[in-house]
Chains A and B, each alone.
Chain A
Amino acid sequence: MSDQGNDWSQWGELWREQPEVDVARLQRTASRKLWRMRTLVTLEIAGSIVACAQCVRLAMLTTGRWHLWSMASLVFVLALQWLYLHVRRGTWRASGDDVHSLLKLTLQRAAAGIRLAKLNIWATLAWVAVSVVVGLPELEPARWQADPRLKSMLVLQVAVNAPLMVGIFAFYFWYIRRQRARIVRIHDLLKPDV
């Protein structure tokens, strides 16, 4: 055997000498992870259904500008869910393609993810602005000060939506930064060595 072959053969033997894997434990932990992923997806789908149902319910109960707002909100919720699915798709997919193709695909997804995140930032801002404009009559101080029910509803809306918006924007900015860093990293990995 040549020196070249000897090196690989010796290294190969040494390499394959690595410790045995506890397969039963691996099966258990992988199974737990799988169930956790399934549970999260189920919860997300349930959340989306509830959000959509709320929009449909509002659309049925309201008329005029609030009816239009409910319909627009339904479209917005669906678009948001699509983005989340798009973002997660990479973690669910198990590719049997070659590594180079996978990295290129990951690159395309990262770029698409940034575009979608930016789109959603603007869509969210537009949705908030439209909601404020639609709700202007109810936001008149004279109106809500005279109506305790309206007042408590507005307080509830601000208490729930303000932190939610902050959280959503923080997520988008984090996501965009992360994807940009990923793109740089993937470009490095894709540099031809040979």
Chain B
Amino acid sequence: MTGDAGQHKNFNEVLREHAGLLSRIAASYEADLALRDDLLQDMALALWRALPGWRGEAPLRAFVARVAHNRGATHVVGQMRRPTGSALNDDWVEPRHGPEGHAELEERRVRLQDAVRRLPLSLRQAVTLALEGFSHAEIADALGITTNSVGVRLNRAKSALKTALGEQA
């Protein structure tokens, strides 16, 4: 990619490629569907504004995740009166899988999402990136911490997730 990679990369194309990533990161910050939708739009806008600054020195996916997390952190600071998580209920299980066989999978997914959302911010950010398949080095770069810290955070998060998901730690 050239030095002005961000300027040449079409925003709509980037958004199309990374909409799922943005949506999942938004879900890790906001339980309320309407507010999550708003947050997702804000993340898209933040990306539109930040994209010209991307010089191709980091993978685009890591850059998008970083912008999304920054917007998510701002959202957390702005939503001070609201709890970060919510009890598992049917209201925010988005309809996706019709057949009953998928219901269990859907429930596990929602439980995982809820458990991630209940983690402290620093652990949550590391976890969402790990779940997206980022390497420890990429997570460290995105969060501005050392790779050792990433390992420690992920270990702590793993215990917390196992407890929250009712799995054996």
Show the binding face of A for B, using Cβ within 8 Å: 4, 7-8, 11-12, 14-21, 23, 26-27, 29-30, 33-34, 37, 90, 92-103, 106, 181-182, 185-186, 189, 193-194
Q: Chain A interface mostly helix, strand, loop or mixed?
A: helix
* Cα distance, A95 to B156, chains bound together (Å): 28
Q: How far is the CB of A105 from chain B (nearest CB, A)?
A: 10
B161 contacts A11, CB within 8 Å?
A: yes
Which residue in chain A gives the minimum CB-CB distance to B24?
A: A18
Q: Which of A18, A30, A96 contacts B53 (CB 8 A)?
A: A96
Q: How far is the CB of A149 from chain B (nearest CB, A)?
A: 49
Chain B residues in 8 Å Cβ range of A189? 73, 76-77, 121-122
* Cα distance, A4 to B125, chains bound together (Å): 18
B19 contacts A96, CB within 8 Å?
A: no
Q: Which of A12, A16, A93, A98 contacts B143 (CB 8 A)?
A: A98
Size of B's binding interface in residues, CB under 8 A: 65
A16 contacts B20, CB within 8 Å?
A: yes
Q: How far is the CB of B157 from chain A (nearest CB, A)?
A: 10
Which residue in chain A gives the minimum CB-CB distance to B123?
A: A193
B131 contacts A34, CB within 8 Å?
A: no
Chain A residues in 8 Å Cβ range of B125? 99
Asked if B27 CB lies within 8 Å of chain A CBs, one says yes
B53 contacts A34, CB within 8 Å?
A: no
Which residue in chain B gives the minimum CB-CB distance to A17?
A: B109
B20 contacts A27, CB within 8 Å?
A: no
Which residue in chain B gives the minimum CB-CB distance to A29?
A: B41
* Cα distance, A37 to B108, chains bound together (Å): 39
Asked if B149 CB lies within 8 Å of chain A CBs, one says yes
A30 contacts B41, CB within 8 Å?
A: yes
Asked if B118 CB lies within 8 Å of chain A CBs, one says no
A193 contacts B120, CB within 8 Å?
A: yes
* Cα distance, A97 to B122, chains bound together (Å): 15
